[in-house]
Amino acid sequence: MSRRPNEKAVTDFVRRRWPDHEPPRAYVLDLWEHFNQRRLAKGNFVSDFTSGNDAKLFQRLWEMVLARHLIEQGFALQSNDPGPDFLFELDGKKVWIEATAPDSSGLSKDWLEKRGVIDVPVKEILLRWTNAFSAKKEKFSKYLDKGIVESDDICVIAISGHLLNMEDPRGSSGQPYAAEAVFPIGPLAVDINRQTDEHSNLYNSERWSERKPNGTDVPTDSFLNQENRCISAIVGNSHLWKSVMSRCDMAIVHNPFADNPFPRKRFGAEAEYVCEVGESEYIILDIQTEENSHA
């Protein structure tokens, strides 16, 4: 039996895009096979994937990586049009996921092409994450207004930093960009005794916003803002090819004020962050690390 036209378009494109000797070719073809078998390629998926535009290609590749991860967790994945990218049920509740891979706008060619010695553009990368979060939050708001997503559904935003040339998922705070984008976690700082020059008390400074080149301040406290309580969690990925080896280069960050929280320890992420909010402070904990340290 001959393959459907969209199958051939994708497989032919993958063979042209990645030569035989490169591992990504077999990996991407395997991702596509599982994705297509489950009829998850909706709308413009195939035309975007085969367009020759890397921004569109890696956006769609991120959707395939994410889909396989969710399927491996045992979720029965659906993709409805119109609607967010993925839907599955967990403990009797609907879970919707919107995936995005922000493009490299605002990042220098020297950084993207790794020319010479260059500082990591942590500010510019963080701004791409905050922008991606805001765009997908607005998209979820529209789905809620239209009744496609209901008020008691779980809503998750999944962001990959692959196009930002990230080799490390962590920003200046030492925590993942996924956490920095929604909590005011600033760069690492130390206390210095001016008399003795002794250093002590390593901690995270506060960063409630990040300034864009045009002077606009972008908030970095979205998960402490009640206006974002419709978002249950954010999932972060730093680099898609890492998934070739680990199958799980992902962190999930829970919204402490979510209307409909995503259940803890059910996503299968390598890192899982929760926020304990007190009267005058908040504490971000990686409950996966915490569990391992007490094992």
Tokens 């984008």 -> residue? 181
pLDDT in tens, 175-218: 999 999 999 999 988 877 676 667 777 788 889 999 999 999 99
Instruction: Give pTM, 2 decimals.
Output: 0.92
Give me 123's structure tokens. Answer: 């500010």
Looking at per-residue confidence, does 290 or 109 come out higher? Answer: 109
CB 102 within 8 A of CB 163: yes
Q: pLDDT, tens digit, for every residue of 109-160?
A: 889 888 877 889 999 999 999 999 999 999 999 999 999 999 999 999 999 9
CA distance 100 to 119: 25
Per residue in 16-44, pLDDT tens? 998 776 778 888 999 999 999 999 998 89
Residue 88's contacts (CB-CB under 8 Å, 6 or more residues apart) are 70, 75, 76, 77, 78, 94, 95
- What is the percentage of the chain residues whose pLDDT exceeds 90? 67
Which has the closest alpha carbon to 248: 275, 288, 290? Answer: 288
- Give the residues across from 140 on adjacent strands: none
